Chain A
Amino acid sequence: MLRFVATCAALALPAATEAQTPSEIVVTALDRHVLPGYAALTEATGALAAAAEADCAAESLDLRSTYHTAFDAWMGVAHLTFGPAETDNRFFALAFWPDARGATPRGLSQLIANADPVVEDADAFATVSVASRGFYALEFLLYDDTVSAAGDPAYRCALVRAVTADIDLTAQTLRTDWEGEFAGLMRDAGTNDRFQSPEEALRLLFTSLDQGLEFTADLRLGRPLGSFDRPRPNLAEARRSGRSLQQVTLSLEALSELASILSAGQPELQAALAMAFDTALDRAAAVDDPVFAGVGDPLGRIRIEGLQVQVGDIRDITRADLGPALGVAAGFNALDGD
């Protein structure tokens, strides 16, 4: 099934037997990957906010199901950390993770303990710490034993509605900015100051692919793996809602789609990348451990490490073959640094 998904993504593209210009590649990526991704996101976040309005209880099936659908949709664009996602810190307002110092539970607990009236006004809520906003904060409100039961239920309800409305508003603004301005800057790269050449726009997409692979290998998989002597299952992403493995799978599917578009002018390379992503997705399917609880168990660990190695191999192909084929190298990314 997973193999099928990646192969279909490759087939769905124009059968490009001729090399494409950087502009052509960028336009394809915008029309088939970036913009549809944001459209799907806003559809899902709209449904999420509506579900919270209808029933804000943490155990509401409808709310939980729209939470998962919206988080799934976010994973389609979570690797696009630049441009409108960087403006006003929107990326982090939707997705603040990892949270090495426990700012999300601490921030939410403070809001609840103080019954902070900031939840009553959307503009005011947008000034709240990003650790208390977005999908990861919502996960705590819906699934964390302590946070989901803290304080006054009426206040918690208002907070859930504020967080979901804020997610929807942020996602809508992202989409509007992409459609209204930023996609145009990328399409017209070479005629504006933000993108002085088509290669610059292409480099940004290539950097997103590279950074997305790094994020999944180093953080989504690397954090729970820890070291052999000190595995850290509690650091798995979104483990409270059982999404840790799902996050890896969805990120690989989105990155596979982008890689396929970027490599469309190089059929052999495109096939090699599709195969490498299929292998990773097969390995993910074989992990059978939705929250990486088994990182301390030798057999379970081997499977997760094998997946991490494969994601690293994809990144090697990307850097060694795809970058040179496109004539670009990955730029600096947010994970540079320590």
Chain B
Amino acid sequence: MIRKILTSTALATCMAAPALAEDATGVLNNYSDIAAATYEDSLIAAQRLKETIDAFVAAPTAEGLTAARAAWLAARVPYQQSEVFRFGNAIVDDWEGKVNAWPLDEGLIDYVDGAYGGPTDENMLAALNVIANPTFSVSGEDIDASMITPALLEETLHEADGVEANVATGYHAIEFLLWGQDLNGHGAGAGARPYTDFIQGDGCTGGNCDRRAEYLTAATDLLISDLEWMAAQWVEGGDARETLLADPDAGIVAMLTGMGSLSYGEQAGERMRLGLMLNDPEEEHDCFADNTHNSHYYVGAGIQNVYLGEYVRIDGSLVSGPALADLVAAADADLDTEMRTRLAETMRALGRIKSAAEAGFTYDMMLERGNEAGEALIMGGVNSLVSQTQSIERVVAALDLSSIEFEGSDSLDNPSAVFE
């Protein structure tokens, strides 16, 4: 019986194959165009962030810090929409940890509140405080950190001692330097680092203001060079695009893998369900800035972008072309309707979290033990992400791509990759 099904499916596939391959190439080119635009937008927004940070560090004022924070928030909009490119594309997955690693033990970087604690079983460097310490040792090796450079952050500090929570680079390191710890617990309010933490000489608060400014500048420069590199991988002739086009079937699977792995294990599981179940405001994706509602929303939008083959750039222009939706509609029109509906339901659920947060019911408050309204909002997002994952699995089956493996680079073939 099963053999029969397989044989008939195989026959159907053979007949449909040439048309699908042609269509798939168009879809993959548009997908690559969207990725290129999303990363280029992330780069442009990061360059704007750098302008505000340079100005702020040169002459620290409260207004300057506010401008830098606003630029960081704007920079997250395109970047979060790029996360859907991660899991299916090894070139992105291998790189992503440098720019968006989370959660982090922020005591590695700078001063923290006493309640934060010190070194832990999991991380000996959890409270290292590089900004206050120009020399220290990591895994028995003496480190000279008298100059805080992009190379020091990237090569020595990031994931030091093999611990993933030692996040020295990327958006969240910059976020911590701009906002500081959010000490409001489940109350409203984000981190409240004073602008005086960056004053050179008299008036410096928090100590080592020169090194703090050096760190912020180095981390921002590094973010820009990392984004430049990734944007280049997606233009015509870039490695990421060429890899997909070389094997269109595998390319389509990469698209779906990115959508499904991000929807289920990462977004619904790690980022939303876990924080809620732990009632832990530290388990928020953009916890220092209290920007988690936006972080979730734009992750959802990125997934929808890939299915519909559309992306609105940060200058308002639209990138669009042949879409995964077209392939699905040709194979099974009802399934295409179902997939579109599920994606829209997710955006509605994530939109509710965003609008409630923007109106003052912040994500930290939603996470509090016994807060039924917050739980309902967050579980609404989780449940719709779980439902859309089921539809994504149906799409994989309907396009008869199921013999190709899911998952990104972390696998049993290389189990050490998960823990190093």
Contacts and interface: CB of A to CB of B under 8 A. Distances in A.
Contacts of A21: 1-2
Given A96-B277, A336-B260, A128 B369 contact: yes
A52 interface: no
B394 A19 contact: no
B407 interface: yes
B121 A234 contact: yes
A247 to B, nearest CB: 17
B263 A332 contact: yes
A20 to B, nearest CB: 8
Interface in A218-244: 218, 222-223, 225-227, 230, 234-235
A278 interface: no
A332 B263 CA distance: 9
A337 B87 contact: yes
B99 to A, nearest CB: 13
B369 A129 contact: yes
Given A129-B278, A226-B419, A329 B410 contact: no
B71 interface: no
Given A96-B277, A325-B2, A328-B402, A218 B122 contact: no
Interface in B388-411: 389-390, 392-394, 396-397, 402-408, 410
A336 B270 CA distance: 10
Interface stretch (A6-14, A31-39, A98-106, A164-172): A98-106
A217 B412 contact: yes
A337 B396 contact: no
Nearest to B261: A336
A130 B122 contact: no
Given A332-B264, A336-B266, A337-B270, A230 B162 contact: yes
Nearest to A87: B383
Contacts of A334: 264-265, 269
Contacts of B404: 329
Nearest to B269: A334
Given A329-B403, A332-B393, A127 B369 contact: yes
A325 B1 CA distance: 11
Nearest to A316: B412
A214 interface: yes
A330 B5 contact: no
Given A129-B369, A338-B266, A223 B2 contact: no
Contacts, number: 140
B122 A227 contact: no
B18 interface: no
Contact of A329 (B262, B389, B402): B402
Contact of A227 (B273, B407, B416): B416
B370 interface: yes
A196 interface: yes
B210 to A, nearest CB: 32
Contacts of B418: 218, 222
Contacts of A199: 397
B161 interface: yes
Q: Which of B270, B369, B402 has the most CB of A within 10 A?
A: B402
B141 to A, nearest CB: 12
A278 B339 CA distance: 42
B415 interface: yes
Interface residues of A, number: 58
Contacts of A226: 162, 419
Contacts of A100: 122, 165
Interface in A298-333: 308, 312, 315-316, 319, 323-333
Nearest to A107: B278
A336 B407 contact: yes
Given A131-B278, A332-B265, A102 B121 contact: yes
Contact of A218 (B3, B263, B415): B415
A332 B122 contact: no
B412 A336 contact: no
Contacts of B403: 323-324, 329
B420 interface: yes
Interface string A101-126: 11100010000000000000000100
Given A21-B2, A234-B121, A336-B260, A129 B277 contact: yes
Contact of B278 (A103, A214, A265, A332): A103
Given A217-B415, A336-B266, A337-B262, A89 B277 contact: yes
A223 B402 CA distance: 30
A154 interface: no
Contacts of B261: 332, 336-337
A203 B120 contact: no
B386 to A, nearest CB: 7
Contacts of A196: 394
Q: Which of A93, A213, A336 has the most CB of B within 10 A?
A: A336
A213 B415 CA distance: 12
Q: Which of A218, A222, A265, A325 has the most CB of B within 10 A?
A: A218
A86 interface: yes
A76 interface: no
A22 interface: yes
29 contacts: A19-B3, A89-B276, A89-B277, A102-B122, A103-B278, A129-B279, A130-B277, A196-B394, A199-B397, A203-B393, A203-B397, A227-B419, A235-B122, A312-B413, A319-B405, A323-B403, A329-B396, A329-B402, A332-B263, A332-B389, A332-B392, A335-B265, A336-B264, A336-B265, A336-B406, A337-B87, A337-B270, A338-B270, A338-B410
Given A312-B413, A328-B402, 5 more contacts: A101-B165, A199-B397, A327-B2, A332-B389, A337-B265
